[in-house]
Amino acid sequence: MSNKEVVKRQLAIFREKINNSEFVKRHKTKKEAFTRARKLGFVKTMLIKLNFAKRSGAVEVYKFFREIVMEEPVSRQAYEKSRNQISYTAFEELFEDSAGLAISTEDSTLYKGYRVMPIDGTTVQLDKNEETKEIFGKSTPQEGKVFARISMCADILNDTVLDGRIAGYDVGERKLAMMHIEKDICENALYLLDRGYWSFELAESIIKRGRKFLIRLASNSLKAVTNNNQNSGYVEVRRKTKTYRLRFYSLQLESGEMEYLITNLNEAEVIDEELKELYGLRWGIETKYNEMKNRLLFEDFTGKSELIIKQDFYATLLIMNMIAFAVMAAEGNIPAKERKYEYKINKNTAIGMLRNNLIRAVLEDNPKRNSMMLDKLMKDISRCIVPIRKGRHNKRNKFDLKNKKKTGIKSAI
């Protein structure tokens, strides 16, 4: 499947599932929910939620009915009641469908045959109430506040998210990373992990599945590497009764700090000098968190319960993949001109253009009109380009809660 076909296939799956009675039955929170024909049913509730909804519930509902379906709006209270009858698992299933499509596309960019999959985590502050304290607040980095821990496994060269987890702060990043690995998403996985993730158990789990990893070591984590006089070579790592021969590479950064890398890739696959460049691709997951928090306003939760927090989480992951598919498809339409710089789609502009329009495409039953709508949308997005400025990064401050709104990055929604 090409990138353009993936966009259409994603929307087709979305349309088919939300209109499927078995899907509704599988994901409603009450047996009696959605059994009567009402103005605001399962389908419209899902569409409102997936229309990049971050403004007040009353505004989102009003604009959906007035601007998209052209009907008399229902009340905010009716919407709140309806969305509480949908399990977060509905959004989780649709997200997993998108992750499967991300892996199946023929246009995927690979690194020497491998799908580059960094894993990283972050934290988000939640509203403090009895439910969030019970579910997420067994421990906290800041007294008197409740935090959730989030972990993502991304396909960074194709800008998609392949797996996502949300848990209490007491669940460690390494445990969440192990869940990503145990899911064994694809056969050509190459995991990139930062300091703090290294463990014999985690490395063994990857090796036993026949997958690859490149992990940065903390200076005190594996003395056989960090105290080694050589800057590259092999070390033997013992895990219970099994011994693994792993390769390491050490280099000094411009800051003077030493960087220690360990991997099960061999020299025939990636030479020493390429390991630094390969590990540098891990930074891409930082930009995914930047997109999630600053462009899609994930931390502005649309409710305070566990159900709505998890709905928001999986809906955001699905939206991120839908954006990625659309942007990749639009990049194929960028006019070929002789330019000084290489250009890419302005993602923030693309997000603004996709809002409402993707939902309109889902609602369009006529295949010909649906295809025309998407083709026009991709063409419009392809005109919104910006030069690629290499070396620019957005630093992510995990606990800078007071300034989280003052990023200088404008949201498109």
Q: What is the pLDDT of residue 403?
A: 47
Q: What is the pLDDT of residue 186?
A: 94
Share of the chain above pLDDT 70, in %: 91
Q: Give, in order, the Cα–Cα distances in Å from 176 to each of 24, 186, 287, 298.
A: 29, 18, 20, 20
For the stretch 208-222, pLDDT in tens is 999 999 999 999 889
| Torsion, CA 90, CA 117, CA 283, CA 333, rounded to 10 | -70
Over residues 34-62, mean pLDDT? 87
Question: What is the DSSP track for 53-66?
Answer: --S-HHHHHHHIII
Nearest by Cα to 91 from 120, 127, 53 = 53
Q: What is the pLDDT of residue 94?
A: 97
Residue 86 bridge partners (DSSP): 28
Residue 158 DSSP symbol: G
For the stretch 138-160, pLDDT in tens is 899 999 999 999 999 999 999 99
In the chain, the domains with their CATH numbers are 3-89+305-387 (no CATH), 108-286 (3.90.350.10)
Residue 256 DSSP symbol: S
pLDDT at 406 over 80: no
Q: What is the pLDDT of residue 42?
A: 96
Q: What is the pLDDT of residue 405?
A: 47
| Chain mean pLDDT for the chain | 89
Q: What are the two backbone dihedrals, phi and then psi, of residue 398, each rounded to the nearest 5 degrees?
A: -65, -40
